[in-house]
Structure 1
Amino acid sequence: MKTHFKTIVISDVHLGTKGSKAKEASRFLKQYSCENLILNGDIIDGWQLKKSGTWKRKHTRFFNRMLKMIEQENTKVFYLRGNHDDFLDQILPLQIGNLSILADMIYESNGKKYFITHGDIFDSITTNLRWIAYLGDMGYTFLLWLNRLVNYHRRKRGLGYFSLSQYVKGKVKSAVSYIDQYEEELAKMAKAKNCDGIICGHIHKAENRIIDGIEYLNSGDWVETMSALAEDHEGNWQLIYYNEMDFSQDKTDSVQLIPDTAPTENVRELKTVAFNKLNDGLTPPNFM
């Protein structure tokens, strides 16, 4: 039987890139059911698809899994725009049945209110100096390529996985300072919006902690960390790491159904498109 959560948040899957752990992300979603699935930005990497990225079948399967959750489990899906999938600016806000595409949202649950955003809007480098952001993206892509090479040799020697980019982030003082400042600024934004917490992604660093009385929740990524946030029906949040999951028993045969208690969203009026059935087959969008 699947474990049933009220809400699951994942971000930074970067579909269309070599580093994307799309297969693992799809397998993760098969293990759980939820009332609300929030895809918090950078799910599709439009930047890489414009340059050298490749769309593969496993990337389409991720969306097929999402559509099955909508159709078979009546899951409400909220896709929030990130900086790498900023092509969504052309269509948002948009609602198609249980799928909503938004810039950001307010999520209310168990008497608490959370501001949910990918997080790039608070990154002045990404917002105001786009060419520097692209340069940083190139450097990160190179680190991921080097990371695959390092871990290939580690596997041959019987050693475990090593995250080169996380190691570099931890050693470079400017990177550590940037992450600290980023987390503090988002906590301030949540407080300014009279929210109890902030849920974000963007910096590929999973976190669940209190900053100046504000719950700071970061879902991590599906390039290296392979983590997600999950909320139970009592309003408790936890980080789930794919590498710590137990796949010894098949949980996909049945689902424990929970009465629908969907959250109240404080979002702009959405455009609505009627449809009878979602199409299982997906093709990647055109970013040119």
Structure 2
Amino acid sequence: MKKRKIEVVVISDVHLGTYGCHADELVAYLNSIQPKKLILNGDIIDIWQFTKRYFPLSHMKVLRTIISMASKGTEVFYITGNHDEILRKFSGTSMGNLYVLDQLTLTLDEKKAWFFHGDIFDASIKNAKWLAKLGGYGYDFLIVMNKWINWCLNKLGKERYSLSKKIKNSVKSALKHISNFEKSAVDIAIENDYDYVVCGHIHQPKKEIIITKKGRCTYLNSGDWVENLTALEYSFKRWKIYRYSQDKLLPFFVDEELKGMDINELVASITTKKEREKESENKKEGKAPLNKGFF
């Protein structure tokens, strides 16, 4: 299968080593793309909940796939998060095309992009880490229970249901936390003249242009591979939220050849295609072929 060529791909909150991780789906996605840069924006390995009892082969395949991509020329940037914060002691380390960082700044088509996980804005992590870890175990239990519920729903021919999403959307404090997180990220990005701010952490995929009195910035969140199964893709000067449940392995762009065309070539190709379709319709209806004139 021909792999899709993408300039930048961002994934976060994979939580390898937990029961909620969708490792097989992530391997399928990674095997379908050929990015120039792969940004792992935190919580890829869940070291908080890591045990020797649970780290299946599918989770190991994710790591092998990422290393294989780096060996074949993809620049891989591992940005540390709160669940893999132990790796922060290695920040600034590089091994071939693999880099370990706490944050990353890139220039994409003359626009500045700022990448970081986002746990710095989470007061529960900064002030009471034990409470955050307890919440992590509770979330993992909720995901396991949700898997059983969805298995039953699938057998009954009904749609999947997300308990955690329902809880988040119904609890005002959770919604306020997400709103405050996004506002803090955007305010700091605008103050530092960033055009894009790209986060993870809150498991809420999003793409939104936010305008304040101080300026304008595009807020992006890569979501997660526990519930949403989402990533961010950047190509042809635009960002897209990739959703595994909807996009599967659909191409990012209709035709790679279109990238090199100027506007006249593009119009000509579309016009020619329309003429062929019209001629085909005329043949079916028994009409004379189109008069293309003499040259």
TM bracket (short chain)? 0.7 to 0.9
Partner in structure 1 of residue 167 of structure 2: 168
- 1:155-204 CA distance string (max 9 Å, x none): 11011221111111001111111111111111112112221121000000
Partner in structure 2 of residue 38 of structure 1: 39
**Cα contact 2:29–2:249 (8 A) shared by 1:** no
Partner in structure 2 of residue 80 of structure 1: 79
Change (3 A) 1:246 1:136: closer
Change (3 A) 1:21 1:246: closer
Counterparts of residues 53-202 of structure 1 (less than 5 Å): 54-72=54-72, 74-202=73-201
What TM-score, normalized by structure 2, do the two folds share? 0.80
What residue ranges of structure 1 are gaps of 5+ in the alignment?
A: 250-254, 259-288
In structure 2, distance between residues paired with 1:53 and 1:168: 29
Deviation at 1:142, TM superposition (A): 2.2
In structure 2, distance between residues paired with 1:236 and 1:125: 34
Change (3 A) 1:90 1:243: same
1:241 has 2:237 as partner: no
Q: C-alpha root-mean-square deviation of aligned residues, in Å?
A: 1.9
In structure 2, distance between residues paired with 1:227 and 1:247: 12
Residue identity in the other structure for 1:61: K
How many aligned residue pairs are there?
Answer: 249
Deviation at 1:247, TM superposition (A): 4.8
What TM-score, normalized by structure 1, do the two folds share? 0.82
In structure 2, distance between residues paired with 1:53 and 1:169: 30
- 1:89-131 CA distance string (max 9 Å, x none): 2222201110000011111111111110000011111122112
What residue ranges of structure 2 are gaps of 5+ in the alignment?
A: 260-295
Residue identity in the other structure for 1:200: C
In structure 2, distance between residues paired with 1:247 and 1:63: 20
Q: Which has the larger radius of gyration?
A: 2
1:225 has 2:225 as partner: no
In structure 2, distance between residues paired with 1:53 and 1:79: 25
In structure 2, distance between residues paired with 1:206 and 1:97: 30
Structure number with greater CO (CA < 8 Å, separation at least 6) is: 1
Change (3 A) 1:105 1:247: closer
Structure 1 segments (4+ residues) deviating >2 Å: 245-249
Residue identity in the other structure for 2:58: K
